[in-house]
Amino acid sequence: MSGSDQIPVSIESSASCSGKPRDYGNARAVLGQIRHALERLIASGEETRIDLNAMPFGPGDLEHLTNCLGTGEVQASVEALGPTRIQETAIPGVWLVDYLNAENQRLTLHIEIANVPQILCPQPQDLALAIDRLDARLDGTPAPNTPPLSS
Amino acid sequence: MAARETPDKTLGESLRDIGLSRRGFLKFCAATASMMALPPSMAPAIAAALEQARRPSVIWLSFQECTGCTESLTRSHSPSVEELIFDFISLDYHHTLQAAAGEAAEAARLQAMEANRGEYLVIVDGSIPGPDANPGFSTVAGHSNYDILMETVEHAAAVIAVGTCAAFGGLPQAKPNPTGAMSVMDLVKDKPVINVSGCPPIPMVITGVLAHYLTFGRLPELDAYHRPMAFYGQSIHDRCYRRPFYDKGLFADSFDDEGAKLGWCLYRLGCKGPTTFNACATMRWNAGTSWPIESGHPCLGCSEPSFWDGGGFYEPVSVPIGTSTTTLLEAAAVGAVAGAGIATVARKGKKDAVKTRQPVTIEELEQKL
């Protein structure tokens, strides 16, 4: 016996154990920023990216933000330097872009206010090579590292 | 770890060589912007700069330290320490991480200094027994920390003092400072010195400063204590998620009262957040998991000068914030002037000695501080 059983232990329920995420009110400011960004997207097409890693969120603030934005119809994943998970929110034009490394640790988490998240679009330098790449396939000499769609 | 010249390939070329796609590069730049505490809109500028960037040679010197700063660095997850060493920098000398030992290790340092003269970065962790202190308190390969530091920084592009010991003297300099410990900026006056303070610093802040140098080829904007503004520009208090409770006058008065359980402000439990400048509130620790205040403990103020001698960790900050900051700045100015005077006098006497640096002798070891 270590004697530790002599120490009285009482179990209390507290706000942090109630199962409901705590809200420190910091998500509201970001939601306001998203609203302004949406106005700019609609009026002029200007896109906005917000780095949620740079926000002084308390426990529960991020959950409050994502709960408020909800879940939309589109999910996408990009495999480059580890996975990147893209989730449309219930607000059209507002996307959650979660950048992860190969060990599934978060590199950064962005809110993107855009028609299509930037990482899903073909990159301009790649697009410039697209016809050459297709022509090579039409000639029957596919370039290395570009597997056919069926693979 | 053989010393070598700065590689000819740019970062863009190196990443393409390992098969990184342009989407992968875009992601790399988004993560790098976040690491440097820059807005995502900077990602295209970062991409253009990184495309042309070349890895700088880095020499890491460890003096009176506990290796906590290196421990912190090895827990960096974005980039990992491996990515840092292979992609961002050419780490040519580091006691703890290098495979070489003894004379081979010291030869690597000298080779890197010669091959990258005027271009290499020196990172220092730990404080240095001053030029008037007994050199035997801390030696590397039989030579005093002071001699090694002055020899190594002579042809460096810049010096990065990592951790509060190197930046401000830290724990070794705490009263009564038995080793005569001094900070890097007390001793190095003719090179740019960047202080990355913290006990230890946040790993992402160490890598962020290196990434900034790699990306833009120059040092970041610094505050009055030579700390990068991007990470040390705002107080813990101003970025704290518990700040609204301070504004409402809601405080925890003990570690187990109702206020503590409800996550109220820890000011009365000794939180030094109002007088401490660091990025813990946003960058967090352990791969972004949490940070001291989120874990329910007040900030100790570990990134500020003389935090060990700043009164009890659990005593509330008792002076108005404005006065405190001004007093600290004035104290730093006085300290910097005194340090400059000491270093100038010391340099005169030591200049010739450094040229023909000799190991510490028995007589020197026996001298009193």
A77 located within any domain: yes
pLDDT of residue A13: 53
Which of A118-127, B78-87, B111-120, B257-266 shows the lowest per-residue confidence on average (mean pLDDT)? B78-87
Residues of B in Cβ contact (< 8 Å) with A126:
21-22
- For range A59-82, the mean pLDDT: 93
According to the annotation, is B29 in a ligand binding site?
Answer: no
Highest mean pLDDT among A79-83, B141-145, B336-340: B141-145
Select the residue of A58, A78, A101 nearest B77 (Cβ to Cβ). Answer: A101
pLDDT single digits (tens) B156-192: 999 999 999 999 999 999 999 999 999 999 999 999 9
Select the residue of A56, A101, A108 nearest B30 (Cβ to Cβ). Answer: A108
Domain that holds residue A55: 22-125
Chain A contacts to B (CB-CB under 8 A): 14-16, 22, 24-26, 49-51, 53-59, 61, 78, 80-82, 84, 99, 101, 103, 105-108, 110, 118-119, 123, 125-126, 145
Whether B294 has its CB under 8 Å from any CB of chain A: the answer is yes
Q: How far apart are CA B215 and CA B171, in angstroms?
A: 33
The domain that holds A52 is classified in CATH as 3.30.1370.140
Domain B234-315 has CATH 1.10.10.10: no
A42 located within any domain: yes
Select the residue of B31, B41, B282 nearest A54 (Cβ to Cβ). Answer: B282
pLDDT of residue B13: 77
Q: What is the pTM of this model?
A: 0.80
Query: In chain B, pLDDT over 90 holds for what percent of residues?
Result: 54
pLDDT of residue B48: 83
pLDDT single digits (tens) B107-166: 999 999 999 999 999 999 999 999 999 999 999 989 999 999 999 999 999 999 999 999
Write down the CATH number for the domain with range B55-232+328-369.
3.40.50.700
What are the strands of the beta sheet with A83-88, ordered from one edge? A48-51, A106-113, A94-100, A83-88, A75-79
Measure in Å the smallest separation between the Cα of B159 and chain A Cα atoms.
Answer: 27
Select the residue of A26, A123, A145 nearest B26 (Cβ to Cβ). Answer: A123
According to the annotation, is B299 in a ligand binding site?
Answer: yes
pLDDT single digits (tens) B230-247: 999 999 999 999 999 999
The answer to whether residue A79 scores a pLDDT higher than 80 is: yes
Domains: count for chain A: 1
Residues of A in Cβ contact (< 8 Å) with B27:
78, 80-82, 84, 99, 107, 119
Helices H, strands E: what count in chain B? 17, 9
The answer to whether the CB of B63 falls within 8 A of the CB of B128 is yes
pLDDT single digits (tens) A87-137: 999 999 999 999 998 888 888 899 999 999 999 999 888 888 899 999 999
pLDDT of residue B286: 87
Which of B60-69, B73-82, B197-206 shows the lowest per-residue confidence on average (mean pLDDT)? B73-82
- Which residues of chain B does CATH 4.10.480.10 include? 234-315
Test mutation, B23, B41, B46, B289, chain A, max A CBs within 10 A: B23
ipTM tops 0.85:
no
Q: How confident is the model at residue B364 (pLDDT cuts 50, 70, 90)?
A: confident
Residue among B120, B210, B125 at smallest CA distance from B167: B125
HEC string of A18-85 equals CCCCCCCCCHHHHHHHHHHHHHHHHHHCCCEEEEHHHCCCCCCHHHHHHHHHCCCCCEEEEECCCEEE
Residues of A in Cβ contact (< 8 Å) with B40:
49-51, 110
The answer to whether residue B197 scores a pLDDT higher than 90 is: yes
Select the residue of B40, B240, B282 nearest A49 (Cβ to Cβ). Answer: B40
Chain-chain contact of B27 with A119 (C-beta, under 8 angstroms): yes
pLDDT single digits (tens) B9-28: 787 777 777 777 888 888 88
- For range A75-93, the mean pLDDT: 94
